[in-house]
Structure 1
Amino acid sequence: MNALPIIVATGIAWLIWRVVHNLFIRSPLDNIPGPAPPSLIRGNLGQLFDRHGWDFLDGLGEKYGKVVRLTGILGHRILYVFDPAALHQVIIKEADIYDLPEWSTDNVRLTMGPGLLGVHGNQHRRQRRMLNPVFSIKHMRSITPVFYDVAHKLRSGLEVQVGDKPTTVDILGWFGRTALELIGQGGLGYSLDTLDTPAPNPYGDALKEFLPALFANSELQFLTNYVKKIGSPAFRAAMIDWLPLPALHRVKRIVNKMDTEAKNVYFHKRNAFQAGEQSVLKQVEEGKDIMSVLLQANMAASEENRLTDEEIIGQMSLLVIAGTDTTSNSLTVVMELLAQYPDIQDKLRAEIKQAREECGEDIPYDTLVSLPYMDALCRETLRLFPPVSFIFREAQKDIVMPLSEPMISVDRTTINEIPVPAGTTVIVAIRPVNQSKDIWGDDAKEFKPERWLSPLPSTVMDAHVPGVYSNLMTFNGGGRACIGFKFSQLEMKVVLATIISTFKVSLAPNAKDVMWNLSAVRYPTVGNDSDRPACPITLECLKV
């Protein structure tokens, strides 16, 4: 309590300084077009973090161009960017200058530990080097049978629920549990959901709640930089409990639950491995899950390259959180689309059937990933409906941002580049660059898997979009590209090959009530006001 006056005085002084700096000191970014902030305190953040804010996001490019000025807390200037040349600088050429913001990495460390998204510089590069082999093609081949085992459990569970007549199921719930078990078996070598009953999994429920709960507190995350040095970690943790913010308390409860589970899994496996327990030694030697490969590599690494227990637990938490919602939600989108387009569903099923006739029920890795129509379907889904709509970067020093084409500034002059002051928040806008008509043509916003079955327009290659996957920004690019995108693609294809060969998919009676919400990872609910992620789909067992 003795520290309270100091905290209050520090807070007031900081607020005054920020207001004066942002409102009365001119910035070159003031000449970049953008929407007026509806709030002095929140700026445009209320619109940016509105779960129904799709119209606001889509309207930015239509009204203001490919680089847009937004306003953050107390007038802080933000650039919303989807110009390809600017993105190339941010993601590839000057990635060290446009690093993750400190508030972002601080919050990742607070919620998930010091994994890839919570560290910078050499520590990030060292972790990435250690993890790269577990996401190689060789390793993907070895874990494909593990994925099929999980997919078979999903199929069996759905067959029990569906029975012998068309039945509406919450496909998101099933896919969420499946993605959790896929990352459990393929990532941790540990079962997180047996999928043998339709009952929800408590740990899975916590994971499904995490990203929407975190997104609901997004504006508070920007304040991390200004409170992280106040008192001890225990004092700051206590501050969360004192604040009258139930949504923040909810995040803390979810994080504590996930942290406990991750530590239980890791220390059980590590201790059994070190003690020479035969079952764990065999599992690690076979190396069919990421954690086993990582444990083995970590033991063999030199002291300076070895990851600490805290770093490995951080990777576990990141894998489980990042790999569960993104995969399950993307699979759910595919099912919705297949229900809306029966002809596409029929083509996919025919391709799967032919491959199974030639290769067996479980299509081998090399054949599966090469199925042209399935691959086109996945690429088009991830192009139009990326799980993550935008990510954050921050300029660590003054830099000049190039543009792929001139833009008209607020003072009506033509500019070809933008001076970006140090400390500027840069939002990498994934969705609009994936849907750009300048890049993909006039039908860019239409769902057309066939576009991937013939040569892409020359404008796609000419744009030089710096994404790691298919000229898209869906999985980011550069040194911070999603390390697990091949893992995710394999999960999706194994599940689709298993489910589409077993069930006919159609729209549920209440399909029109399904709304997709803007979040850290987009998610569906039934109705605008529901907080419960869900997506009904009608399934019917196919006659064999």
Structure 2
Amino acid sequence: MRQVHRNREPTVLSLSSQGAVRFIMFLLAVYVAITASSFLFMWKLVRQRIRQLPLRKIPGPPPLSFLKGHLPQIFGREDGWEFHTGILEKFGTVVRLCGWGGDPLLYVSDPKAIHNIIVKDQYIYEETSDFIASNLLNFGPGLLGTLGEHHRQQRKLLNPIFSINHMRYMIPIFQTVCSQLRDQLVEKVKNGPKEVEVVHWMTATALELVGQAGLGYSFECVNETSGNEFASTVKNLVPTLFPLKVYRVFLPWIVAYVPRPVRAFAARHVPWKAVRSVVSMVDTLHKMSMKIVSEKRMALLKGDEAVLHQIGEGRDILSVLLKANMSASEEDRLSEEELLGQMNTLLFAAMDTTSSALSRIICKLAEHQDVQDKLRDEIVKALEGSNTLDYDTVHNLPYLDAVCRETLRVNPPVSFVARTTRKDVVLPLGTPIAATDGSKMSEIPIAENTGIIISIIGVNRSIAIWGADAAEWKPERWLSPLPQSVADAHVPGVYSNTMTFLGGGRACIGFKFSQLEMKVVLATLLPVLRFHLTDTKIHWKLSSIVYPSVGTSKKPTMPLEISLVSEKSGL
């Protein structure tokens, strides 16, 4: 027995020694892996900085923060306007800025350069990873949350739905909703001029229009007492999201390396009110989208009779999309998740941008009573005693068109968009710039993963393109031939030689829908209502989508005095 015991001791010691050796080898492997990864990361960082050296020759302002660079100024809700207009005036069409940790950003308003970015080489200059990650988390894999072939397939299915022919079917729906809006406002001011919070009504109307014409669903929010939770959610989403954009750069890593259950738990319990608010809003948006898609699909399965009894009678965008998706080939068909993504994207994009644009137009008309009177006269004359206008008449009112074009040019709802380079590329310029060393640069070598900001207002308000009065709001400029410089600039936007609705493969797919909505709202309200400014100063806050506010409030609001046309102002 003792012999057996003596024979076991070396075995135990041997096993312990082997375990220790394995543990040491494991630690060594981890150390080597970490060291190698660190060297690789540092090498890539140094290599990236070396390849970005040519950008150092491009003039630009010094950053206020080493860590955040110019990001707080770019996304500054209060002082952002001054920063954007200031660098355009001082540095011109290409400006070097800094992002996180001093990473260079190019701020571009050169039309030829933008053409290369969004049209010619659009698959080199793609949406930033944090933009895609943010939209995937907030809305799902819709048009705003996909890239490349995935995005092209979705757009191929959606393009026919936003054609002019399909827009013609929308007119009766638009007129019904806009008449409800008119009646509600008339009721509020029937006893005399009254101060009215206009953003609330423009948001509710935009939501109801995209609901009925886009989804075949009524949110029943164009009334005084609705208190619609969904309308409130969508209206406040952008102002809540915008301050978080500075930190959005970390989202791709969070999505890639943090499991979904952990992300969901952390987002709901993180001690950051803005993040928790966004999560709650996204949940509301997603639940409503699921409800609408489910009801619409059930109606389609029941047959044409059930569809005809729904709002839109099957001609709404969602019904057409569902039918097209059912008949699409396997490779082109959208998944359930993608359908919900399109729904969320449509609700968010169509409502927020259009309500912002409508609010701005009405604010401009309140500032310029002569323009408001002239536009009202044109609309009343076209109506000829009728209450409604058909599609062709609405689109052929020259002054209405001029007011909309000029407002969207000078004050676009979106002021800038971001891109990133997916590989090394050379960016040609239409106008050479003066480098910091005194040389002229007619093209810029750009390294992979370099951030680019396309300045929409930089193009839309360019003196070189639009003349000395480029920053002024003058609807009359559209009633006569535009300067030759406008045509010569070859602005690559899809709308009126401007960048308001972008261009290329990621241009705003619903810009015709938005135009029609704005014109029908104005043509319905102006014949009977007059808008005036009040003593309350309105501030337009810089955000992903620009919005009006008063005082130090961060919430969208725009109080205006409204009166019946037959009465005089005097609140």
Q: TM-score range by the shorter chain?
A: over 0.9
Distance in 2 (CA, whole Å) between partners of 1:75 and 1:252 is 31
What letter corresponds to residue 92 of structure 2 in structure 1?
G
State the partner residue of 1:46: 72
Query: Which deviates the most, 425-434 or 294-303?
Result: 294-303
**Alpha-carbon distance, 1:242 to partner:** 5.0
**Alpha-carbon distance, 1:162 to partner:** 1.5
What letter corresponds to residue 413 of structure 1 in structure 2?
S
The answer to whether the 8 A contact 1:157-1:198 is kept is no
Moved over 4 A (4+): 12-26, 281-286
Distance in 2 (CA, whole Å) between partners of 1:14 and 1:523 is 46
Query: Which deviates the most, 223-232 or 53-62?
Result: 223-232
The answer to whether the 8 A contact 1:467-1:476 is kept is yes
1:531 matched to 2:520? The reply is no
**Alpha-carbon distance, 1:524 to partner:** 0.7
Query: Which deviates the most, 114-123 or 385-394?
Result: 114-123
What letter corresponds to residue 266 of structure 2 in structure 1?
M
Distance in 2 (CA, whole Å) between partners of 1:227 and 1:20 is 24
1:514 matched to 2:538? The reply is yes
The Cα RMSD (Å) is 2.3
Distance in 2 (CA, whole Å) between partners of 1:284 and 1:134 is 17
State the partner residue of 1:409: 435
1:492 matched to 2:515? The reply is no
Query: Which deviates the most, 451-460 or 131-140?
Result: 131-140
Q: Considering only CA atoms, is the larger Rg found in Structure 1 or Structure 2?
A: 2
The answer to whether the 8 A contact 2:490-2:497 is kept is yes
- Mark the CA change 1:292 to 1:284 in structure 2 (over 3 Å): closer, same or farther: farther
- Mark the CA change 1:285 to 1:141 in structure 2 (over 3 Å): closer, same or farther: closer
Which of 324, 328, 343 is the aligned partner of 1:316? 343
Query: Which deviates the most, 232-241 or 151-160?
Result: 232-241
State the partner residue of 2:458: 432
State the partner residue of 1:36: 62
Secondary structure, aligned partner of 2:257? coil
Distance in 1 (CA, whole Å) between partners of 2:282 and 2:47 is 35
Distance in 2 (CA, whole Å) between partners of 1:282 and 1:196 is 23
State the partner residue of 2:238: 211
| Equivalent residues in 2 for 1:320-469, closer than 5 Å | 320-357=347-384, 360-469=386-495
The answer to whether the 8 A contact 1:184-1:190 is kept is yes
Query: Which deviates the most, 435-444 or 161-170?
Result: 161-170
1:94 matched to 2:121? The reply is yes
What letter corresponds to residue 470 of structure 2 in structure 1?
A
1:146 matched to 2:170? The reply is no
Post-superposition CA distance 1:419-439 (Å, at most 9, x none)? 011101111110111000000
What letter corresponds to residue 477 of structure 2 in structure 1?
R
The answer to whether the 8 A contact 1:298-1:307 is kept is yes
State the partner residue of 1:541: 564
Post-superposition CA distance 1:179-219 (Å, at most 9, x none)? 00000001100011341325532111100111111111001
Distance in 1 (CA, whole Å) between partners of 2:312 and 2:549 is 42
The answer to whether the 8 A contact 1:284-1:292 is kept is no
State the partner residue of 2:21: none
What letter corresponds to residue 331 of structure 2 in structure 1?
E
TM-score (norm 2): 0.89
What letter corresponds to residue 532 of structure 1 in structure 2?
K
Q: Which runs of 5 or more residues in structure 2 are unaligned?
A: 1-30
Q: Which runs of 5 or more residues in structure 1 are unaligned?
A: 1-5
- Mark the CA change 1:168 to 1:381 in structure 2 (over 3 Å): closer, same or farther: same
Distance in 2 (CA, whole Å) between partners of 1:285 and 1:431 is 36
Tell me how many residue pairs correspond in the alignment. Answer: 533
Which of 120, 140, 158 is the aligned partner of 1:113? 140
Distance in 1 (CA, whole Å) between partners of 2:306 and 2:59 is 62
TM-score (norm 1): 0.94
What letter corresponds to residue 79 of structure 1 in structure 2?
L
Query: Which deviates the most, 205-214 or 238-247?
Result: 238-247
State the partner residue of 2:200: 173
**Alpha-carbon distance, 1:156 to partner:** 1.1
What letter corresponds to residue 481 of structure 1 in structure 2?
A
Query: Which deviates the most, 346-355 or 231-240?
Result: 231-240
**Alpha-carbon distance, 1:281 to partner:** 5.6
